[in-house]
Amino acid sequence: MKRIKDLPASDRPREKLQQKGAEALSDIELIAILLGRGIEGHDVMSVADSVLKALDNSNDKPDIEALKKIEGMGVAKAILIVAALEFARRRIRPEGLKISFPADVLPLIQNYADRKQEHFICVSINGANEIIKSRVVSVGLINRTQVYLREVFANI
């Protein structure tokens, strides 16, 4: 990946956020903004990519110890990521959001559109069509993923 300094000013995450808003940024760019900078030998975008992969594998429970194992991540950055995710979880709750049409689910899963791998996402709703939980069940290859029913129905 390119270093932030090598990108044109309009493609840098902070400048892009200022010009186009947070919705225009990919998940990697959002994490890069939280991290601030990389370390020698590891640019912030590659560290952000590693963090995103670790978060995708954590089943909605980011682990500080797992994040600290990423090259370029220290305790402070790992804690910052976990705290930011917890703050967002508390403030923006999909639970209770009512689903009237299939298109109502799109805002919940739109952040997966730029991923390079297939993601099987399960959005559980109750009898009143309110969201109980949204989670990634399986992450696969570029064009397919294998899904087991026990994983779909686990932890609902």
The pLDDT tens digits of the residues spanning 27-59 come to: 888 998 998 887 777 888 888 888 888 888 776
Residue boundaries of the structural domains of the chain: 4-91, 102-153
Cα distance between residue 117 and residue 119, in whole Å = 6
What does pTM read for this prediction? 0.62
Residues in the chain: 156
Q: Residue 128: is its pLDDT beyond 80?
A: yes
**77-107: burial string, b at 16+ Cβ within 10 Å, e else:** bbebbbeebeeeeeeeebeebebeeeeebee
Q: Is the pLDDT of residue 1 over 60?
A: no
Of 99, 103, 119, which is closest to residue 111 (Cα–Cα)?
119
The answer to whether 23 and 106 are in contact (CB under 8 A) is no
Packing angle, helices 27-35 and 44-56, rounded to 10: 120
Q: What is the maximum span of the chain, computed from C-alpha positions, in angstroms?
A: 53
Number of helices and strands in the chain (H, E): 7, 2
The model's confidence at residue 94, banded by pLDDT at 50, 70 and 90, is low
**In the prediction, which pLDDT does 93 show?**
62
**What confidence tier does 105 reach under pLDDT thresholds 50, 70, 90?**
confident
